Chains A and B, each alone.
Chain A
Amino acid sequence: MNNLTKDIKKEVAQKVSKKINLKAALSLATGALFGTSVTTGAVGQTIEADEWQFDTAFLLYSEVDRVTAGEAIVAGTKTFSNDEVLNLKFTFDTLTGPSANGAIAQPKAQTFTRASGIGRYRTPEGETPLDDTFHDTRVQLNGQWTQPVSDNVTGSVGGHLSKEYDYLSLGLNGNLAYDFNRKNSTFSMGISYFSDTFTPEGGIPKPLSSMLVGDSNSPEWDDEFAKTRISASENKSTSDLLIGFTQVINRRMITAFNYSYSMVDGYLTDPFKVVSVLNAEGLAQDYIYENRPDSRVKQSTFMQAKYHFDDSLLNMVADVSYRYMWDDWGINSHTIDSRFIIPVGRASYIEPHIRFYQQSAADFFTPFVIEDQLPVDFVSADYRIGEMSAVTIGAKYGVALNGGNELSFRLEYYHQRPTNGGFEEPEALNGLDTTPVIDAIIAQVSYSF
């Protein structure tokens, strides 16, 4: 009996030691990366390390026959003695698989040039054209510093850096929150600015120019392809204003209301997307590169309520929110998101999640262009700015482990259903699936320690 107790104690001690070492190693790595002071002595490591709280997650997003993405996050939060909070987050993700190029399905096979200009791909008859050369890896760093400014005011500043093979994004943000009414009400205001640079392989295509389709090994190819390009890279900037109001209603309920205004300027076109030009019968004659306006103003209102039920409803916490978004491209959208955190036993919970989304199309969205409609000005056949609805349904299961650690699993199903939006389809498209649905699985494992 004594031996057994000793063994258990030893095992626990080893586990605790491993945990501290992992935490210490991560703390050191985080400190070194961001230049924050972390004591390097062995004893110091343990003491300092205990002040960090880490949240880690790995997510797999996989669409049927299309894109698969994997994303890993490690976030560290350290609270200092004066309620100052430092949050550092490292994100790594990778994306592979075929992505819709914007062209519409046809009764015969279609051939396209890859975005890089090197090589071709063929889409069989009746299928939605997908470019299968997408492969990207992204590294992202976020840092946020939050501290009390006075008794009732909290300030926060943050930075963002994200780098992909062909994309660089830099961002800054600042927020102020004012508490009043015995800290039951909070008014907050924040601004953020992002500067993004896009350097796609093969350069930026000339908007509305025809996709060059042919033999990329021919001696004239490079010169001809270059005529369809305008530059090697383009920029865009995003300025956001977010105004929020949070109100505690009673012991069981809290609500939040946000208004946001977002201005995006610069290159907003997707360089990888084309639009099919069809003859009156509906047969593809040409593929032109899409062209979007160089500015977009988005606004949204967001409302959220959280309610903690009592024993009679399993002590469940309901989290329901609604967002209405509208922009000057003619898109508006409704999003309803609800989660229910239901305790199971003393140490675990299950969290069902359901989300509904519906959007209208941008004014310049069209699934195809008919020859006699040419010339066009702004045009895009990217289904993501077309009329569509989507639903997400799934659940998360979390279990609290020793020492305040938590392990959780999330599995969700995401279904996107683009709709025609009233475009009359010419005869050749009859019987073809021109608004294909997208089904995806979202699987996630998280561990906090």
Chain B
Amino acid sequence: MKVNKTKVKTRMNVILLSVCVVSLSACSSLGVEPWERDLLAKKEMALTSSPIDAALDDHIYFSKEASSGGKSFGGGGCGCN
């Protein structure tokens, strides 16, 4: 079981690393010119389009599950039960 977990972790890390490397090497050819940002500039295209919803959700899931953060800091902040 332990071996499997380690294998999964290693595989995940390799996938992540590959994605990052591919992204970084390809990024110079990706993207848009400043005048093509009409859609990207919309509020709903922001990575966190509703920070209030995100904060409330983080609080719920931090209190009810063993994971937190990832998108932003997982931090402490409450003794939630």
Contact = CB atoms under 8 A, between A and B. Distances in A.
A333 B65 contact: yes
A325 B67 contact: yes
A21 interface: no
A362 B16 CA distance: 24
Contacts of B53: 57, 396, 410, 444, 446
B3 interface: no
A258 B56 contact: no
Contact of B24 (A99, A245, A319, A438): A245
A249 interface: yes
Interface string A193-204: 011101000000
B70 A323 contact: yes
A399 interface: no
Q: Which of B12, B31, B79 has most chain A Cβ within 10 Å? A: B79
A228 to B, nearest CB: 20
B37 to A, nearest CB: 8
Nearest to A167: B79
A272 B79 CA distance: 11
Contacts of A195: 76
Contacts of A48: none
A359 interface: yes
A56 B52 CA distance: 8
Contacts of B38: 251
A2 to B, nearest CB: 39
A248 B40 contact: yes
A185 interface: yes
Nearest to B75: A194
A249 B81 contact: no
B73 A335 contact: no
Interface in A205-258: 236-238, 240, 242, 245-252, 254-258
B69 to A, nearest CB: 6
B44 A341 contact: yes
Given A248-B30, A251-B39, A272-B81, A317 B44 contact: yes
A145 interface: no
Interface stretch (A78-86, A104-112, A116-124, A300-308): A300-308
A71 B5 CA distance: 38
B75 to A, nearest CB: 5
A303 B47 CA distance: 11
A69 B32 CA distance: 44
Contact of A332 (B5, B50, B51, B80): B5
Nearest to B31: A184
Contacts of A335: 67, 70
A210 to B, nearest CB: 22
Interface in B36-66: 36-40, 42, 44-45, 47, 49-53, 55-56, 59-61, 64-66
A247 B27 contact: yes
A138 B64 CA distance: 17
Interface stretch (A29-37, A39-47, A158-166): A158-166
B39 A242 contact: no
A182 to B, nearest CB: 6
Interface of A: 55-57, 59, 61, 67, 71, 73, 75, 89, 91, 93, 95, 99, 134, 136, 138, 140, 160, 162, 164, 166-167, 169, 171, 173, 181-185, 190, 192, 194-196, 198, 236-238, 240, 242, 245-252, 254-260, 262, 264, 270, 272, 298, 300-304, 306, 308, 317, 319, 321, 323-327, 330-333, 335, 341, 349, 357, 359, 362, 384-385, 388, 390, 396, 410, 414, 416, 438, 442, 444, 446
Interface of B: 5, 8-9, 12, 16, 19-20, 23-24, 27-28, 30-34, 36-40, 42, 44-45, 47, 49-53, 55-56, 59-61, 64-81
Q: 8 closest pairs, A vs B, by CB?
A: A184-B31, A194-B76, A167-B79, A302-B70, A323-B70, A300-B70, A238-B76, A325-B67
Given A67-B81, A185-B30, A326-B9, 17 more contacts: A89-B55, A91-B55, A99-B81, A136-B79, A190-B73, A192-B75, A247-B31, A249-B31, A250-B30, A258-B70, A262-B69, A302-B70, A317-B44, A359-B67, A385-B66, A410-B53, A414-B60
